[in-house]
Amino acid sequence: MRGISTSTGNIARSNQPEERIYSGPKDLSAPNGKNVTLRSLYAKYRAGEKITMVTAYDYPSAAHAELAGIDMVLVGDSAGMVVQGHDTTLPVTLDEMISFCKAVTRGASRPFIVGDLPFGCFEASTAQAIDASVRMLKEGGVDAVKVEGGFPARAETIRAISEAGIAVVGHVGLTPQSISKIGGFRPAGRTAEEAFRVIDDAKRLEDAGCVAVVLECVPSVVSAATTRELSIPTIGIGSGASCSGQVLVFHDLLGFLQHPHHAAVVPKFCKRYANVSETIQTALAEYVADVRSEAFPSEQYSPYRIPEEELHALRKTLRGSGYLNAADECMQGGSAATDSDSDDGSD
């Protein structure tokens, strides 16, 4: 069925609710201003202003990022660990990443959104990498893709994606998709050889067409040297203050999880700006107590009523159908279930 134009310029469709609470409309005249683009990011970079980025995986977190005025949102394959409960990012599939991206792009329309290409969807050939990147843009709705690694073959993959007209963000330092090769999540660039490789890889990615590079878990002096050498923004995570911008995971910076397993793997570089977990656990404990004590739901949270004449007809139908217990319950709860304060008791 064709959509019908509305006075707000949106499209009303028969399969959509009358009030579009979650998916829009988006007001670009809001205090956060216009959409963030590569042009505006580069203007901020050239002016020496820090770029803010947060990793998010779903609609609510993306909406919060938008309201906070975050410049960039990374839909990371770390969703495999933070959201899905895996021990690494390796199990995440391209289809799952596209699903995460769809949710995030529904929640945030203003930030520049970057989606991770997950392990196993781009390594076989440049054609595979381009196909995966195209899906991330067309189906996931992101503005750019992120690719881990800076060695020569990976740079050629990035060059091919970039030449296909797709913006690419690089990623060097600690590269979680390479965990089977590097033997665990460990910082990078702590020897002269490793530090040179970080800088050299980052420069290679810039030459291949990357629009920005993420530097993960490298010493501050190495990230400063890398940032100084490049003419594109660097986004640091656990890499000191000299980067062009910073990124943290939404759940980590909010103190979202306090399960012992999660607490053990939250990076030491992550500053906790809130303790949301404590608030959540307190609220859930109060909810459980209220349900068990029958304090919830009270009349305040039981708002729906049935008119007296409809209740009378219901009781009659129930009795005629042999549902005597249900009919008796409607009799006993009549005054609470109707708009009237009285029940004549007649059937």
The neighbour count for residue 110, using CB atoms within 10 Å, is: 21
The neighbour count for residue 179, using CB atoms within 10 Å, is: 17
- Active-site positions read 216
| C-alpha to C-alpha distances, 223 to 66, 145, 269, nearest whole angstrom | 28, 22, 14
Largest CA distance in the chain: 91
Closest CA to 97 of 112, 111, 114: 114
Rounded Cα distance, 339 and 59, in Å: 38
Rounded Cα distance, 331 and 206, in Å: 76
Which residue, chain included where needed, has tokens 């977190």? 61
Lookup: tokens for 195:
């530090």
Output the DSSP codes for 122-140.
Answer: SSS-HHHHHHHHHHHHHTT
Rounded Cα distance, 294 and 290, in Å: 6
Q: What is the DSSP letter of 85?
A: -
β partners of residue 317: none
Which sign does the torsion angle of CA 168, 170, 175, 181 carry? positive
DSSP H or E run through 82: helix 79-82
In this structure, the strands spanning 212-216 and 234-237 are parallel
